[in-house]
């Protein structure tokens, strides 16, 4: 529990509420520190049951979600299909049933423009788009049989982020902070570092939906002050002015007039936290204290601007992990053509997108290891869907939710392994088929949360990140 | 279990016929052994994940964990026919011949053979009870659920508790509260001061803080009338304030997930949505009886006569706009599924808002907890299936209706009189058909004769009557009479001048956002596409839009083929609809502005030859008719004997001109619903749009239907020509419905008292909370009904209760006993909502613009608000000083400041906001640029208003907290001022006071 919570008077504090409602999980060190303190007075219990804590021993404390916006092609990254070579130029409908696509412009079978190499002791094949990430093959658990329910970006994005295709549902970062609370008093528990491309579907991908606002993702930019409203503003110009003292004095006098109330106590405490955050965020954002080799490791010195941006995002993610930010999502930088959404010109588009992220991701994995953070961090690499093994038009690929690759690395994850398989053309998952719900269930599991027990009552239902679905992908979990 | 025994019995008998007892039992045990070794483990390993009682959700409704489960089967029918593997669906599925099971991968061939053998051998399963599972759910028994849950029970008229000679109660509601105080032994907080109550009233009734002038007025009233009467007077003033409607509209708008863009990828605008917002404001200000308000939401377009509002406009139809304020997706791959998702949201919002029920939970299965069946859900979606979106020229629609009628009468009368007087008539057969015999079998919509398809119009540009072949028509030409060579629905150029006022995107956005539909549209009845080629015989220019499964956000890459421009030179317009075989569509024909468009028919599947035959047929008939036209032309030019005809025609022209001059040309356009064709929806198995079952007749919820109609259900909307929504609306507000009035009364209580009597304001179901004071709730319903459903009267009643006026000075022991204040023994301070906070800034800075209504102000965009569909330019930082409900609600660009203070995200009904308490709120008040701007304005204003610094502290405290400072406060501030540089001190004081808790927490 937070040592700094003010005494909330005589009555049901959050501490009591938690121990009463949640069987004492609040006693663990995992409980929310900065986050949600309800207005117990005017809220009923339903919305005040925040921070249920872990259900079992967690493998990791933090998640870094490398969101690959637009849907990278599985057959061009982590799922080699030699048969595409052989059938290149054939009509796909001669080979299998082609499902309706977003653009309804089905071309011929399209071989991957990239060769694959086997890496590490595991021999995990990775395409030449990811030569740097390939060096970490023995750390990756590649799931080649992921599926989505939606072939359109926005639906699929909401689905990947929130477990529902509908807008306005809580994002997984919000769910996780709702479940575990933040470890940091000075930083939000859920941060999206926006490299430039906001996912189709907008900022609602990072929303808290029906969960309290405190769990929504804070949008950071990888430069300057990072986040809105953090730069201390004062008409007097000092950092922490005596103004706060005057506010506090007025609050005290008001309390003596109207009595002590928990909500007001909490709000007063929040002023203190806010003042601390005003110092903590600039400290987080200022990477000048990192040695030169670290800058180079991530690619901050790259001559390609998008690589520099993503490198900064990855480095900030590591700094956030060090400071106890629970869930960090990185969105992609703008490479000038399009996100990983190559409806045409696959070769150029995928190359630019890969170039932006390959070295920074590899640098992040290396750095997490050397800083001793790898085992307590889960890194997830995923797009909202994959792409068709046949062309859209001549040289693009359309959306494909039927089978695509994502990978995980970090604490609790079996490295150097492949789970599941798509068919011989890489179109549909046929072995070990997984759903996004399964990915969510597994992420929650590694954090110590039983996805079936992490619920929030809304609109007459006990809502879950995994809805009524979700199965652990046991194969990728280290035993 | 009977089936199980029976089959086992048959099996045993069959064996006995050819075996001795011994060998029979040996064979039986071998079969069981085979099952236990081969089949059961395989079922457990490969199937139980989805097909066992403990499965998260049982796939396809099929259970494979007991024998009867296999035999009874699931959604797709029996899985196993014992003794006949070839006829067993299970075998088909594991062979991957139809369903592909298990989905993780095909089983080894040997195992598939085992299954076949086992089934052929009788599918033996040891005699064992059906597994029950830990979380076995209630069997769905609607009547039992209805009988056992409080909310379905009729509203009673509770006796007001006798609380002795307590002088605490001020009015009957208090007695219910006081009774609990007494029984629970609560020591009740004393009443708040009159000034405190006044501050509450301002925020609770109009959402704004009092100005110093308003405060002074109140204090004068207190002196003059006493505080009791002064508060009553203040209440009346605030209820009469136009700001009342604004504040309560804000509550309402969150129920109907009001927004002005559709979210998703491009966040396209919902044009003209603000008319709905203003409609709600006006209705609340006019204190429209609640039942009327509800009916207008469900079916205001069908009310005859509609309500005229205080601005003299016929507005009932505007209520139906709420249906269409949801999210929208362009280019859905599965267009019917998209429709079912939209319907889901519409039913969800409607049922939560008006009934406090989560009906949409019954989309995929009978409700898990409440007395709502899946059939109930689809009975309601039928009303949507039967209805349609209609952009309405609401300011002129009704006035112009009279002209439309007069015009039809005039034309009919004059046509007859002229025909009688005219010696010429075309020598065509009596009822000549415009449609050739070759084309006839292909006609799906026929406007060529009066007995053909029904005319469904938006506005009056299309005449209310079709024209038939050879019919005499007035035309604005040198020869003003003409025998028609065309038959069908026709536009009358008299309406060409229509001028509609839209927001950007006209009526719908994307492709349809360039087309002026309102007032100028003919909509066909709904029909199913059975052939990919569809065509329409037209004349004139405009647009044809094929509305497939009510999808309207047409924007590539898919569905572009549904919008086709009609060129003036083409006789036919063609649609390629192969993608939509089996889908339900209607076609909208929209005349181009200032142009005419005539429509004869819609056909499908005809050959080019058929159309050529039609062409020959038309040419032949036209030749005959044109002879008469030529004759008429010659006669008009030469023949003196047409004088009487010419007089009549002159009269016809003048009367038409007269009518034309009365047409209300200019109107705003609002979002409304209109009737399509009466159609029932089909129940979708598991909510899956590709898996329809039987049609469900439209009707209201089973559990709210009267006993009589339960035993003999009368479907509503049996009138095939309409949706039946008006009947539905009447059922919703019927006094026998126990929910509607409980729900609204509870909402009002919630907003005034901080928590509903039912805390879950949008869910009165089993998972919602029980009413803390059930009798009080019914008592309030009673009062509400006898007050004619006046929201203002109920508010007036409630704010004069002692309960409302309790102070926050709780009794320590009572708080221990009732920490969550279930008994309302005190009133905790309430944090202002996001909107109230921002509006309060504007009032105290003196910068508020109190204009009511109108188009929204563009949202201010911070650098952190990014993404597709980002508006090209940012709105003003201060929103031009307009109240928060006038700041545009763009789904993908919601204000971070408002979100930090828990402004709801508009995706479903939100009758109760979260109230979080986080550092981000402190940061916003400390550093947000808008706050800084308002603080600077406040500081300047304070200096202007109080040139003498000594007065300034009092002025600031009165302005911000509605009270004078005490000595300690004056001292604290004075000291602060003296310690700081003069130039900065007062800005810092203003800022400090705005971040002081009392500013946003109303005691």
Which residue, among A403, A459, A464, A472, would best test binding to B if mutated, counting the most B CBs under 10 Å from its CB? A459
Residues in CB range of A108: below 8 A, 6 or more apart: A88, A89, A90, A91, A92, A390, A391
A470 — contact with chain B (CB < 8 Å)?
yes
- Residue of B203, B277, B358, B254 whose CA lies nearest to B904: B254
Q: Inter-chain contact B105–A430, Cβ cutoff 8 Å?
A: yes
B372 — contact with chain A (CB < 8 Å)?
no
A26 pLDDT above the threshold of 80: no
- Between the two ends of chain B, the Cα-to-Cα distance in Å is 64
pLDDT (0 to 100) of residue B581? 96
Cα separation, B270 vs B277, whole angstroms: 12
Question: What is the rounded radius of gyration, in angstroms, for the C-alpha atoms of chain A?
Answer: 23
B810 — contact with chain A (CB < 8 Å)?
yes
> Which residues of chain B register pLDDT less than 50?
1-21, 134-136, 707-719
A167: nearest CB among B263, B831, B976? B263
pLDDT (0 to 100) of residue A368? 98
pLDDT (0 to 100) of residue B10? 34
Count of A-B CB contacts under 8 Å: 320
Which residue, among A48, A185, A247, A421, would best test binding to B if mutated, counting the most B CBs under 10 Å from its CB? A247
> Contacts of residue B358 in chain A, CB cutoff 8 Å?
459-461
Mind spelling out the 3-state secondary structure of B819-858? CCCCCCCCCCCEECCHHHHHHHHHHHCCCCECCCCCCCEC
Q: Inter-chain contact B327–A213, Cβ cutoff 8 Å?
A: no
SS3 B523: strand
Q: Inter-chain contact A243–B991, Cβ cutoff 8 Å?
A: yes
| Bridge partners (DSSP) listed for residue A463 | A456
Cα separation, B721 vs B526, whole angstroms: 11
pLDDT tens-place string over residues B592-639: 999 999 999 999 999 999 999 999 999 999 999 999 999 999 999 887
pLDDT tens-place string over residues A123-141: 999 999 999 999 999 999 9
Q: Helices H, strands E: what count in chain B?
A: 34, 20
Cα separation, A226 vs B927, whole angstroms: 14
A293 pLDDT above the threshold of 90: yes
| Percent helix, strand and coil across chain B, each to the nearest 5 | 45, 10, 40
Residues in CB range of B588: below 8 A, 6 or more apart: B517, B521, B522, B523, B524, B544, B545, B547
Alpha helices in A35-171, H assignment, sequence order: 45-48, 82-87, 131-134, 153-162
A252 — contact with chain B (CB < 8 Å)?
no
Q: Contact at 8 Å (CB) between B60 and B75?
A: yes
SS3 B908: coil
How many of the other CB atoms lie within 10 Å of CB of A91? 13
Average confidence (pLDDT) over A3-30: 29
SS3 B599: strand
CA distances from B209 to B8, B779, B828 (A): 78, 32, 18
Q: Inter-chain contact B263–A201, Cβ cutoff 8 Å?
A: yes
B558 — contact with chain A (CB < 8 Å)?
yes
Q: Inter-chain contact B868–A202, Cβ cutoff 8 Å?
A: yes
A266 — contact with chain B (CB < 8 Å)?
yes
Residue B357 φ then ψ, to 5°: -125, 150
| Bridge partners (DSSP) listed for residue A421 | A431
Using the 8-state DSSP alphabet, how is residue B532 labeled?
S
Angle at A460 between CA B327 and CA A14, to 5 degrees: 105
In chain B, residues 908-937 whose CB comes closer than 8 Å to chain A: 908-909, 914-924, 926-929, 932, 935-936
Cα separation, B946 vs B952, whole angstroms: 6
> How far does Cα A413 stand from its chain's mean position?
16
pLDDT (0 to 100) of residue A31? 26
Cα separation, A246 vs B984, whole angstroms: 14
Q: Which pTM value belongs to this model?
A: 0.84
Instruction: For residue A178, give both structure tokens.
Output: 């709702």
Task: Write down the residue that tokens 């808290």 correspond to.
Answer: A208
Interstrand relation of A390-392 and A106-109 (parallel, antiparallel or unpaired):
antiparallel
> Contacts of residue B818 in chain A, CB cutoff 8 Å?
none
Which residue, among B918, B932, B940, B977, would best test binding to A if mutated, counting the most A CBs under 10 Å from its CB? B918
Q: What percent of chain A has pLDDT over 70?
A: 88
A277: nearest CB among B923, B992, B993? B923
In chain A, residues 155-194 whose CB comes closer than 8 Å to chain B: 155, 165-169, 188, 194
CA distances from B657 to B130, B414, B662, B665 (A): 81, 14, 9, 14
| Bridge partners (DSSP) listed for residue A192 | A219, A329
Cα separation, A454 vs A468, whole angstroms: 12
Q: Contact at 8 Å (CB) between A402 and A102?
A: no
Cα separation, B725 vs B731, whole angstroms: 10
pLDDT tens-place string over residues A346-379: 999 999 999 999 999 999 999 999 999 999 999 9
A258 — contact with chain B (CB < 8 Å)?
yes
Q: Contact at 8 Å (CB) between B883 and B898?
A: no
How many of the other CB atoms lie within 10 Å of CB of B110? 8
Cα separation, B938 vs B944, whole angstroms: 10
> How far does Cα B332 stand from its chain's mean position?
20
Cα separation, B939 vs B844, whole angstroms: 10
Q: Inter-chain contact A229–B966, Cβ cutoff 8 Å?
A: no
In chain A, residues 354-373 whose CB comes closer than 8 Å to chain B: none
Q: Inter-chain contact A270–B981, Cβ cutoff 8 Å?
A: no
Using the 8-state DSSP alphabet, how is residue A309 labeled?
H
In chain A, residues 82-111 whose CB comes closer than 8 Å to chain B: 100-105
> Contacts of residue B964 in chain A, CB cutoff 8 Å?
none
A278 — contact with chain B (CB < 8 Å)?
yes
Residues in CB range of B514: below 8 A, 6 or more apart: B506
**What are the strands, taking DSSP E only, across A96-246?**
106-109, 116-119, 124-127, 141-147, 190-193, 218-220
Q: Inter-chain contact B906–A168, Cβ cutoff 8 Å?
A: yes
- Between the two ends of chain A, the Cα-to-Cα distance in Å is 30
Q: Which of A54-68, A255-269, B200-214 has the lowest mean pLDDT?
A: A255-269
| Bridge partners (DSSP) listed for residue B390 | B672
In chain B, residues 205-264 whose CB comes closer than 8 Å to chain A: 263-264
pLDDT (0 to 100) of residue A21? 29
Cα separation, A67 vs A65, whole angstroms: 6
Instruction: For residue B32, give both structure tokens.
Output: 């069981």
A478 — contact with chain B (CB < 8 Å)?
no
Q: Inter-chain contact B264–A229, Cβ cutoff 8 Å?
A: no
What's the burial of B9, exposed, middle or buried (CB within 10 Å: 0-12/13-18/19+)? exposed
pLDDT (0 to 100) of residue B425? 87
B995 — contact with chain A (CB < 8 Å)?
yes
- Residue of B729, B727, B725 whose CA lies nearest to B388: B725
Please list, residue by residue across B282-313, b when 16 or more beta carbons sit within 10 angstroms of its beta carbon and e when fewer do: bbbbbbbbbbbbbbbbbbbbbbeebbebeeeb
Of all helices (H) and strands (E), which one includes residue B878? none
Cα separation, B909 vs B350, whole angstroms: 8
pLDDT (0 to 100) of residue B20? 41
A254: nearest CB among B863, B919, B997? B997
A215 pLDDT above the threshold of 90: no
SS3 B315: coil
Cα-Cα-Cα-Cα torsion B421, B424, B429, B432, nearest 10 degrees, comes to: -80
Cα separation, B325 vs B889, whole angstroms: 11
Q: Which of A135-149, A449-463, B558-572 has the lowest mean pLDDT?
A: A449-463
Which residue, among A267, A461, A468, would best test binding to B if mutated, counting the most B CBs under 10 Å from its CB? A267
ipTM of the complex: 0.83
Q: Contact at 8 Å (CB) between B888 and B880?
A: no
pLDDT (0 to 100) of residue A20? 29
More reliable by pLDDT, A236 or B652: B652
Which residue, among B997, B1000, B1001, B1003, would best test binding to A if mutated, counting the most A CBs under 10 Å from its CB? B997
Alpha helices in A115-181, H assignment, sequence order: 131-134, 153-162, 172-180
pLDDT (0 to 100) of residue A422? 97
A241 — contact with chain B (CB < 8 Å)?
yes
């Amino acid at each position: 529990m937070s040592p700094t919570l003010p005494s909330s008077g005589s009555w049901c504090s959050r501490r009591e509420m938690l121990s009463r409602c949640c069987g004492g999980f609040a006693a663990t060190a995992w409980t929310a520190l900065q986050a949600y303190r309800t207005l117990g007075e005017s809220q009923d219990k339903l919305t005040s049951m925040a921070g249920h804590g872990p259900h079992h021993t967690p493998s990791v404390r933090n998640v870094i979600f490398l969101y690959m916006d637009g849907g990278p092609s599985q057959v061009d990254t982590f799922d080699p299909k030699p048969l595409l070579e052989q059938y290149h130029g054939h009509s796909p409908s001669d080979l299998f049933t082609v499902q309706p696509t977003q653009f309804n412009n089905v071309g011929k079978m399209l071989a991957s423009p990239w060769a694959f190499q086997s890496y590490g002791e595991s021999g995990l094949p990775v395409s030449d788009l990811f030569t740097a990430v390939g060096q970490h093959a023995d750390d990756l658990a590649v799931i080649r049989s992921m599926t989505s329910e939606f072939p359109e970006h926005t639906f699929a994005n909401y689905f990947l982020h929130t477990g529902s295709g509908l807008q306005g549902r809580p994002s997984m970062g919000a769910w996780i902070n709702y479940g575990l609370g933040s470890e940091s008093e000075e930083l939000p528990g859920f941060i999206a570092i926006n490299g430039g491309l906001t996912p189709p579907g907008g900022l609602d991908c990072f929303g808290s939906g029906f969960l309290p606002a405190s769990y929504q993702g804070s949008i950071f930019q990888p430069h300057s002050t990072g986040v809105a409203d953090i730069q201390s503003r004062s008409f007097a110009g000092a950092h922490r002015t005596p103004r706060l003292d005057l506010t506090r004095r007025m609050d005290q006098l008001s309390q003596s007039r109207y009595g002590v109330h928990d909500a007001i106590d909490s709000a007063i405490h929040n002023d203190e936290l806010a003042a601390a955050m005003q110092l903590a965020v600039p400290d987080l954002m200022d990477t000048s204290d990192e040695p030169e080799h670290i800058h180079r490791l991530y690619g901050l010195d790259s001559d390609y601007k998008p690589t520099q941006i993503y490198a900064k995002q990855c480095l900030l993610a590591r700094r956030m992990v060090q400071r106890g930010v629970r869930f960090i999502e990185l969105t992609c930088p703008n490479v000038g053509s399009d996100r990983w959404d190559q409806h045409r010109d696959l070769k150029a588009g995928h190359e630019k997108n890969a170039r932006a992220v390959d070295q920074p991701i590899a640098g992040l994995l290396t750095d997490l290891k050397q800083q001793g953070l790898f085992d307590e961090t889960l890194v997830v690499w995923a797009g909202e869907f994959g792409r068709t093994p046949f062309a859209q038009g001549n040289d693009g690929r359309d959306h494909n939710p039927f089978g695509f690759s994502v990978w995980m690395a970090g604490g609790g994850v079996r490295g150097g392994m492949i789970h599941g398989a798509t068919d011989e053309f890489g179109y549909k998952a046929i072995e070990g088929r997984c759903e996004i719900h399964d990915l969510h269930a597994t992420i929650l599991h590694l954090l110590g949360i039983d996805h079936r027990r992490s619920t929030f009552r809304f609109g007459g239902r006990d809502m879950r990140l995994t809805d009524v679905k979700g199965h652990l992908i046991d194969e990728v979990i280290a035993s | 279990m009977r089936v199980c025994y029976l089959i086992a019995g048959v099996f045993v008998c069959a064996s006995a016929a050819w075996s001795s007892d011994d060998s029979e039992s040996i064979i039986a045990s071998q079969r069981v052994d085979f099952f236990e070794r081969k089949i059961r483990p395989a079922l457990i390993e490969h199937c139980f994940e989805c097909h066992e009682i403990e499965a998260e959700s049982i796939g396809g409704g099929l259970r494979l964990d007991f024998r009867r489960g296999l035999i009874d089967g699931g959604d797709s029918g029996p899985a196993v026919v014992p003794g006949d593997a070839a006829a067993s669906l299970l075998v088909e599925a594991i062979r991957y011949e139809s369903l592909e099971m298990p989905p993780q991968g095909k089983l080894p061939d040997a195992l598939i053979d085992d299954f076949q053998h086992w089934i052929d051998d009788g599918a033996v399963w040891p005699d064992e009870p059906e597994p029950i599972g830990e979380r076995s759910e209630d069997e769905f028994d609607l009547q039992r659920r209805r009988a056992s849950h409080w909310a379905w029970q009729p509203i009673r008229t509770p006796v007001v508790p006798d609380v002795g000679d307590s002088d605490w109660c001020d009015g009957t509601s208090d007695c219910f509260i006081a009774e609990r105080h007494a029984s629970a032994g609560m020591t009740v907080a004393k009443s708040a001061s009159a000034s405190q109550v006044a501050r509450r009233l301002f925020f609770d009734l109009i959402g704004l803080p009092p100005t110093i002038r308003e405060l002074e007025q109140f204090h004068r009233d207190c002196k003059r009338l006493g505080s009791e009467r002064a508060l009553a007077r203040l209440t009346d003033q605030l209820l009469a304030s136009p700001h009342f409607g604004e504040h309560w509209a804000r509550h309402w708008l969150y129920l109907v997930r009001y927004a002005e863009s559709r979210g998703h990828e491009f966040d396209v605008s919902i044009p003209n949505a603000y008319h709905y917002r203003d409609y709600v404001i006006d209705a609340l200000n006019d204190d429209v009886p609640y039942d009327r308000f509800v009916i207008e939401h469900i079916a205001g377009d069908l009310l005859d006569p509609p309500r005229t509002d205080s601005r003299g406009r016929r507005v009932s139809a505007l209520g139906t706009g709420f249906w269409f304020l949801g999210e929208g997706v362009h280019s859905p791959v599965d267009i019917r599924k998209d429709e079912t998702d939209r319907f889901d949201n519409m039913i969800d919002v409607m049922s939560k808002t008006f009934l406090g029920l989560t009906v949409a939970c019954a989309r995929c299965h009978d409700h898990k907890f409440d007395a709502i069946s899946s059939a109930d859900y689809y009975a309601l979606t039928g009303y949507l299936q039967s209805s349609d979106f209609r952009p309405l020229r609401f300011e002129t629609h009704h006035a112009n209706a009279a002209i439309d009628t007069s015009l039809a009468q005039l034309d009919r009368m004059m046509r007859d009189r002229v025909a009688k007087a005219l010696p010429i008539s075309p020598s065509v057969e009596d009822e000549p058909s415009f449609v050739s015999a070759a084309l006839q079998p292909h006609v799906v919509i026929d406007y060529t004769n009066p007995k053909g398809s029904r005319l469904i119009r938006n506005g009056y540009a299309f005449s209310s009557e079709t024209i038939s072949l050879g019919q005499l028509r007035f035309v604005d030409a040198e020869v003003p009479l003409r025998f028609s060579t065309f038959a069908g629905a026709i536009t009358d150029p008299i309406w060409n001048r229509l001028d509609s006022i839209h927001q950007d995107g006209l009526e719908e956005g994307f492709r349809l956002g360039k087309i002026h539909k309102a007032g100028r549209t003919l909509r066909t009845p709904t029909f199913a596409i059975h052939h990919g080629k569809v065509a329409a015989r037209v004349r004139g220019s405009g647009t044809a839009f094929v509305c497939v499964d009510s999808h309207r956000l047409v924007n590539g890459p898919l569905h572009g083929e549904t919008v086709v421009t009609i060129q003036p030179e083409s006789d036919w317009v063609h649609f390629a609809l192969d993608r939509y075989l089996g889908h339900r569509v209607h076609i909208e024909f929209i005349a181009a502005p200032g142009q005419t468009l005539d429509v004869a028919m819609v056909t499908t599947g005809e050959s080019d030859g058929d159309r050529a035959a039609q062409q020959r047929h038309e040419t032949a008939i036209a030749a005959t008719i044109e002879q008469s036209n030529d004759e008429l032309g010659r006669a008009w030019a030469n023949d003196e004997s047409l004088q009487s005809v010419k007089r009549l025609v002159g009269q016809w022209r003048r009367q038409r001109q007269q009518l034309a001059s009365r047409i209300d040309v200019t109107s705003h356009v609002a979002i409304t619903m209109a009737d399509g064709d009466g159609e029932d929806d089909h129940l979708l198995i598991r909510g899956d749009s590709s898996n329809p079952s039987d049609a469900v007749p439209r009707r209201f919820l089973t559990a709210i239907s009267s006993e009589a109609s339960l035993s003999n259900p009368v479907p509503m909307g049996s009138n095939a020509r309409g949706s039946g929504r008006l009947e539905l609306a009447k059922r919703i507000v019927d006094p026998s419905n126990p929910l509607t009035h409980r729900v609204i009364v509870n909402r009002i209580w919630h907003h005034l008292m901080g928590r509903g009597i039912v805390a879950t304001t949008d869910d009165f179901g089993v998972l919602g909370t029980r009413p803390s004071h059930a009798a009080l709730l019914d008592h309030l319903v009673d009062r509400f009904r006898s007050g004619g459903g006046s929201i203002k009267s109920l508010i007036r009643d409630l704010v004069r209760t002692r309960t409302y006026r309790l102070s926050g000075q709780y009794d320590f022991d009572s708080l221990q006993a009732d920490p969550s204040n279930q008994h309302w023994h005190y009133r905790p301070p309430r944090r202002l909502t996001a909107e109230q906070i921002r509006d309060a800034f504007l009032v105290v800075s003196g910068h508020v613009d109190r204009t009511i209504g109108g188009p929204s102000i563009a949202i201010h965009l911070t650098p952190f608000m990014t993404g597709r569909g980002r508006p090209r330019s940012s709105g003003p930082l201060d929103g031009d000083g307009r109240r928060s409900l006038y700041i545009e609600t763009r789904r993908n660009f919601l204000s971070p400041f408002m979100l930090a203070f828990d402004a709801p995200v508009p995706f479903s009904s939100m009758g109760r906001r979260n109230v979080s308490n986080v550092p981000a709120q402190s940061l916003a008040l400390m550093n947000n640029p808008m706050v800084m701007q308002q603080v600077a304005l406040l500081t300047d204003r304070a200096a202007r208003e109080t040139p003498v610094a000594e007065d300034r502290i009092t002025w600031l405290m009165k302005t911000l907290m509605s009270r004078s400072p005490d000595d300690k406060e004056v001292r604290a501030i004075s000291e602060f001022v003296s310690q700081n540089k003069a130039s900065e001190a007062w800005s810092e004081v203003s800022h400090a006071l705005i971040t002081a808790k009392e500013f946003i927490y109303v005691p």
